[in-house]
């Protein structure tokens, strides 16, 4: 199969996906909360950075295939590739500041230190004489504690909040510099799971089954639609990278579609403070009739008014419980 080709490229080109696998890009644009079997609704821009491009690029417009392919195929870019002016604008408006890979690695290491009960499982952190920071990947097969298995590790749930381009989950490139990171040096939470999968499986079918479970176990949400597209693409390309590194060939379309479907559920668009689709809370007008006249009152969203995440009248976001094969709202996981 003539599949996606560019492996070490920070700026994934939507045209490349669309030209070869158009159905795949369509899956990556889905909003699973609003879509139904009969109607696909896409994530929306949720930023005014593209408004000058006209209709289809306004804040509330859905991100369509037409908007990001063809002559528009170079519109969505990683933060590292965006202009300095746009970077500063997004920092001012949305407090968007991306984390360098060495910090992502340090924090991800803390998670694994606690899980494994020891340090330096996947790499050793290095403070260089020039003040820069790096890491040395651990050699050999990852060894698990006596009371835990590699299956336990790949099934362990992980969530990156306000994930941006998802640098804590996958590290194909440094989100600040844009420099590509070779597969053996990657430090994302999903990268680590896929390393373990590769070390403990032999056949393609074994690898695909375990990798699918790994993808089902990682979640992330983001407000801005362009970042969400980049995050979803990065997770898809990560799947291709690791499969090709293991078997020397690209995965089949069916495998890519399955992973894209999981990604579209697990990496979703949400206002993290409210648990709803961004901007979906609203005021409601009520007409109060009396004997002599009628008055119009405006009822604000109770959740917004009281700061109660369980009382919003916006559209609460749905996610997938893969173990139970059911959907549920994200806020149902939070204690009242």
Span 307-321, mean pLDDT? 96
Span 19-32, mean pLDDT? 90
Q: List phi, psi (to 5°) of 298.
A: -110, 120
Strand partners, 136: 124
- Give the confidence band of 152 by pLDDT, cuts at 50, 70, 90: very high
Span 224-237, mean pLDDT? 96
What would the two tokens of residue 174 be?
A: 């440094």
Q: Which residues contact 277 (CB under 8 A, 6 or more apart)?
A: 31, 33, 34, 269, 270, 271, 314, 315, 317
What's the DSSP call for residue 100? P
What is the pLDDT at residue 110? 98
The residue behind tokens 């306000």 is 162
Q: Taking Cα atoms as reference points, which of 78, 85, 266, 87 lies closest to residue 164?
A: 78
Span 179-188, mean pLDDT? 95
Mean pLDDT of all residues belonging to the chain? 90
What is the pLDDT at residue 176? 78
What is the pLDDT at residue 2? 42
Going from the C-alpha of 320 to that of each of 52, 215, 291, 317, the distances in angstroms are 36, 12, 51, 10
Q: Taking Cα atoms as reference points, which of 265, 243, 266, 269 lies closest to residue 254?
A: 243
Pair 318, 327: CB distance under 8 Å: yes
Q: Which of 110-114, 116-120, 177-181, 261-265 comes out lowest in average pLDDT?
A: 177-181
Pair 171, 191: CB distance under 8 Å: yes
Span 240-265, mean pLDDT? 96
What is the pLDDT at residue 95? 59
What is the pLDDT at residue 317? 98
Calculate Rg over the CA atoms of the chain. 22
| Helix ranges (DSSP H) in 21-82 | 22-28, 65-68
Q: Is the pLDDT of residue 42 over 70?
A: yes
CA distance 218 to 212: 11
CA distance 287 to 300: 14
What is the pLDDT at residue 178? 82
3-state class percentages of the chain: helix first, strand second, coil last, to nearest 5: 40, 15, 45
Verdict on whether the full-model pTM lies above 0.95: no
CA distance 107 to 92: 25
CA distance 192 to 217: 12
Q: Is the pLDDT of residue 180 over 70?
A: yes
Q: Which residues contact 293 (CB under 8 A, 6 or more apart)?
A: none
H or E segment to which residue 295 belongs: strand 294-299
Q: Which residues contact 27 (CB under 8 A, 6 or more apart)?
A: 257, 260, 261, 264
Q: Which residues contact 81 (CB under 8 A, 6 or more apart)?
A: 10, 11, 178
- Give the confidence band of 175 by pLDDT, cuts at 50, 70, 90: confident
What's the distance, CA 212 to chain centroid?
A: 16
pLDDT digits (tens, 9 = 90+) for 1-10: 444 444 445 6
Span 36-58, mean pLDDT? 95
What is the pLDDT at residue 115? 98
Going from the C-alpha of 25 to that of each of 194, 257, 289, the distances in angstroms are 23, 10, 51
CB count within 10 Å of CB 89 equals 16
What is the pLDDT at residue 22? 76
Span 47-65, mean pLDDT? 96
């Amino acid at each position: 199969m003539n599949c996606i080709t560019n492996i070490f490229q920070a700026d994934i080109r939507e045209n490349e996906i669309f030209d070869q696998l158009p159905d795949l890009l369509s899956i990556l644009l889905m909003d699973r909360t609003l879509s139904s079997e009969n109607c696909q609704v896409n994530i929306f821009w949720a930023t005014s950075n593209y408004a000058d491009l006209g209709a289809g690029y306004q804040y509330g417009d859905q991100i369509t295939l037409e908007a990001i392919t063809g002559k528009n195929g170079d519109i969505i870019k990683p933060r590292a590739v965006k202009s300095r002016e746009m970077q500063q604008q997004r920092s001012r408006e949305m407090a968007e500041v991306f984390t360098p890979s060495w910090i992502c690695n340090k924090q991800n290491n803390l998670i694994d230190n606690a899980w494994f009960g020891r340090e330096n499982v996947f790499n050793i952190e290095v403070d260089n004489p020039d003040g820069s920071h790096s890491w040395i990947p651990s050699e050999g097969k990852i060894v698990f504690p006596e009371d835990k298995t590699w299956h336990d590790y790949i099934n362990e749930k992980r969530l990156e909040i306000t994930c941006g381009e998802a640098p804590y989950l996958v590290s194909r490139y440094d989100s600040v510099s844009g420099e590509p990171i070779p597969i053996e040096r990657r430090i994302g939470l999903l990268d680590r799971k896929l390393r373990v999968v590769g070390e403990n499986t032999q056949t393609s079918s074994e690898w695909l089954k375990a990798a699918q479970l790994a993808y089902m176990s990682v979640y992330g949400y983001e407000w801005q639609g362009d970042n969400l597209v980049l995050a979803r693409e990065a997770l898809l390309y990560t799947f291709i990278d690791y499969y090709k590194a293991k078997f020397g060939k690209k995965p089949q379309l069916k495998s890519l579609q399955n992973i894209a479907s999981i990604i579209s559920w697990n990496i979703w668009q949400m206002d993290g403070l409210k648990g709803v689709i961004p901007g979906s809370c609203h005021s409601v007008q009520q007409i109060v009739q009396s004997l002599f006249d009628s008055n119009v009152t405006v009822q604000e969203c109770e959740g917004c008014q009281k700061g109660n995440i369980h009382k919003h009248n916006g559209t609460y976001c749905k996610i997938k419980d893969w173990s139970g094969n059911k959907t549920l709202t994200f806020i149902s996981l939070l204690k009242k």
